Amino acid sequence: MYDEETSRLVGKFLDIPVLKENQEKYRDERGRVNMCTAIRDMVKNGEKRGEKRGEERSVRLALLLAERNRIGDLEKDSEDKEYRDKMFQEFGI
C-alpha cells in the first residue's frame, strides 16, 4: 500500500492508466492506494484489448479468405496457428 503522492508518482512513472484515471477506486479505509490491485486491473484491461484485436484479425482473415473462395485455407487456418500466421502475413493483417 502506498500513500497518495507515492501512488501518483508511481502511476505516472510507470504509465498506469487505471491508476491515473481513478485512484479512488484503489484506496483502502486508511486512504492508502493498493498498487497491486491497480496493476492487476491494468493487466486485465491489456489482455482484453489483446483478445479483441486477435479476434478482429481472425475475423478479417476469415472474411478475406471466404471472399476469395479459399475454403481450404480457411479450414486449415482454423486448425493450424503457424499457417494462420502465414495467412496474416500474406494479407498484411
Angstrom distance (rounded) from CA 55 to CA 59: 6
* pLDDT cut 90: percent of the chain above it: 52
Dist. CA 59–CA 53, nearest whole Å: 10
Answer for the pair 77, 87: CB distance below 8 angstroms, yes or no.
yes
Across the chain, mean pLDDT equals: 86
What pLDDT shows up at residue 1? 61
pTM of the model: 0.64
Give CA–CA dist 34/73, Å, rounded.
48
Residue 79 has pLDDT above 80, yes or no: yes
| Residue range 18-54, pLDDT digits in tens | 777 777 788 888 888 787 888 888 899 899 999 999 9
